[in-house]
Structure 1
Amino acid sequence: MQNPDSAFLDDLITRHSDQLTEADARILGVMVRDPIRAAMENGKEVSFRAGVHPASAVRLARRLGFKGYPEFRAFLQQRLVEGKGEFEDPTARIAARLAKAGDSGLLSSVLDSEITALESLRASVTDAEIRGFSEALLGARRIFMFGQSHAATLCHLVALRLRRSGYDAVDLSLMQHQWLEQVAGMTGDDVMWLINFRKLPETVARIMQVAAVRGATTLALTDKRGAALDPPPDRHIAVSRGEAGESQSLAVPMTVTNTVILDLATIDEGRTMRALAEFRDMRETLAPY
């Protein structure tokens, strides 16, 4: 299968094949094998890897219709940022972000991405959707959380906050192969809250199927680009964590979960506040130990 990031290089080679020299072919060969690295290197570096004269990359760029190698590299970087494979390949994601940062500075680039993603969240998620999640949690006998990779970290935080707020929350993300024992007693009075980014792991699909069979209410917080869930959840909030080449924000899904927990505190008739006060007193009492 062709590397999606190399397709545009193949097209350039085809269109200018009658003009290319042996040195050009050697440079393009190393670029096609690793287009992500090629988009980050300067002309001397890519020429060195190809074993040709340092100026060969500049001559190649001009034969391909660019003013010089910097313009050619900018083209490669832009295609990387826009590439279809960017969200699936972690190396490409990092490279695309570095390419997009350019001379403006990495911190500024990340901050701009986060701000843009959070502003998008304001326009895409409603208070009614947040209330739908909090009402489901309010009536739950038990709340099961599950996510993998970065989502697992968020699940751990949410489960911790829910337990401190007086709710029986179980983080299945920490249980690896023991999750089946935990969901064996799942009933229609329980909630299964899934947090998932991008691809849908097989374990996630199986857990959602168990929840559906048991009649549990299912909640899902996912990327807009994430895989379709089957069976579909009862309530679903899909958010954009950033476009291609931008920082894939964890602040966006964390903002959603924090808002759900805060909204839950406004409708549970003091349950959260009492539980937090009890936890504070217990922590102060047991702190020396």
Structure 2
Amino acid sequence: MEEFSSELRGRVEDFSGKLSKLDRQVIEALLVDPLGSSYETASEVAERAGVHQTTVIRFARKLGYDGFLEMRESLRKGHVQKASSASRVFSRIRTAGELSSIEAFLHSEIEALHQLPNHVRAADLESAATMLAKADRIMIFARGQAQVLGKFLALRLERLGFDAGAIDHIDLDTPNRIAGLKEGDVVISFALRRVPAQLPLLLSFCRRRRVRTLMISDMIGPSIRPSADILLAAPRGTETQSQTLSVPMAIANLLLLDLVQAVPQQARDALEGLDDGRVELEKLSRGALRKD
């Protein structure tokens, strides 16, 4: 099922001009809730984005629309009328009374995950897995709350037999962590809510070195320049909900599943080798305990 923000998102990704910080705020406001945005006025979108109404109108024209109304119509055209199963379930809960904290949390998580297939295409996941399968080395760049995701992904890739590692900064005094990047390597970056300060530098460096890039992001992703070769981006909740990490974690897990299918023998050999190593360590550990 195609997302109803796909036409707008495509224009953002194809836009070759400069996108300002205010433009990015408008993009996030539109793409995080495309259905709601498709029924709002320019002033209402501007209020949610924290910008002036004229900024929203200028942004629409910058992307090639005649104005805000045409941009809003592009959001509305693709709207799928079918309500999600999660919405139906929790509408029943609401009729019974106020949601408990557990129910409210699960509601927001399910709603965010339910939107994932509308934003991340299976074909893009497959392309990303194919790119990683051919990589000589994989480096993951993640900062802030995304660091745990970067470390998780690096560990999983290592277990599948890949040369992978995670970094959270670029030290210009000792650039050895990225200086060795070359054609044939792949850099995976995470960008959640905000653009990490050093990410544009890293993407520019990769482009100069002909290093392929993959970005896992939320709705800030389409506005980031330079753009990654492959972008896997989906909203992590509406503005009234907490921004969940379950969505980028799900993207990472889906990517790993596709990667196993791309290199089944390598994955099998690596995992079997890992199991053999664990058994050997357990035997050595038991032997050491007996001696003690």
TM class by shorter chain equals 0.5 to 0.7
Q: Give the match for residue 228 of structure 2.
A: 233
Which residues of structure 2 form unaligned runs of 5+? Answer: 1-43, 51-93
Matches for 1:4-15 after TM superposition, within 5 Å: none
Q: Does 1:135 align with 2:127?
A: no
Counterpart contact for 1:223–1:239, Cα < 8 Å: yes
Higher relative contact order (CA 8 A, sep 6+): 2
Counterpart contact for 1:200–1:227, Cα < 8 Å: no
What SS does the corresponding residue of 2:115 show, helix, strand or coil? helix
For the residues of structure 2 that align with 1:184 and 1:176, how far apart are their CA atoms? Answer: 11
Distance 1:119 1:204, change over 3 A: same
Counterpart contact for 1:147–1:204, Cα < 8 Å: no
What SS does the corresponding residue of 2:165 show, helix, strand or coil? strand
Distance 1:212 1:179, change over 3 A: farther
Deviations 1:92-124, CA, capped at 9 Å, x for gaps:
xxxxxxxxx994222211110110011100222
Larger radius of gyration: 1
Which shifted more, 217-226 or 159-168?
217-226
For the residues of structure 2 that align with 1:235 and 1:157, how far apart are their CA atoms? Answer: 20
For the residues of structure 2 that align with 1:259 and 1:123, how far apart are their CA atoms? Answer: 15
Q: Give the match for residue 209 of structure 1.
A: 204
**Candidates 274, 280, 283, aligned match of 1:285:** 280
How far is 1:229 from its partner? 2.0
Q: Give the match for residue 99 of structure 2.
A: 104
Deviations 1:179-232, CA, capped at 9 Å, x for gaps:
721111111110010111011122122111211111100101111134722211
Q: Does 1:168 align with 2:163?
A: yes
Counterpart contact for 1:198–1:227, Cα < 8 Å: no
Counterpart contact for 2:143–2:169, Cα < 8 Å: no
Q: Give the match for residue 43 of structure 1.
A: none
Q: Does 1:125 align with 2:120?
A: yes
| Identity across matched positions, percent | 30
Q: Does 1:275 align with 2:270?
A: yes
Q: Does 1:197 align with 2:192?
A: yes
TM-score (structure 2 length as normaliser) = 0.61
What SS does the corresponding residue of 1:219 show, helix, strand or coil? strand
Q: In the alignment, residue 259 of structure 2 is paired with which amino acid?
A: L
For the residues of structure 2 that align with 1:103 and 1:267, how far apart are their CA atoms? Answer: 46
Which residues of structure 1 form unaligned runs of 5+? Answer: 1-78, 86-100
TM-score (structure 1 length as normaliser) = 0.62
For the residues of structure 2 that align with 1:251 and 1:223, how far apart are their CA atoms? Answer: 11
What SS does the corresponding residue of 1:232 show, helix, strand or coil? coil
Q: Which runs of 4+ in 1 moved over 6 A?
A: 174-179
Deviations 1:144-197, CA, capped at 9 Å, x for gaps:
101111111100000000001000001112786787211111111100101110
What SS does the corresponding residue of 2:198 show, helix, strand or coil? helix
Q: Give the match for residue 261 of structure 2.
A: 266
Q: In the alignment, residue 214 of structure 1 is paired with which amino acid?
A: R
Cα RMSD of the aligned pairs, angstroms, is: 2.4
Q: In the alignment, residue 194 of structure 1 is paired with which amino acid?
A: S
Q: Give the match for residue 250 of structure 2.
A: 255
Q: In the alignment, residue 192 of structure 2 is paired with which amino acid?
A: F
Q: In the alignment, residue 189 of structure 1 is paired with which amino acid?
A: G
For the residues of structure 1 that align with 2:166 and 2:230, how far apart are their CA atoms? Answer: 19
Distance 1:284 1:119, change over 3 A: same
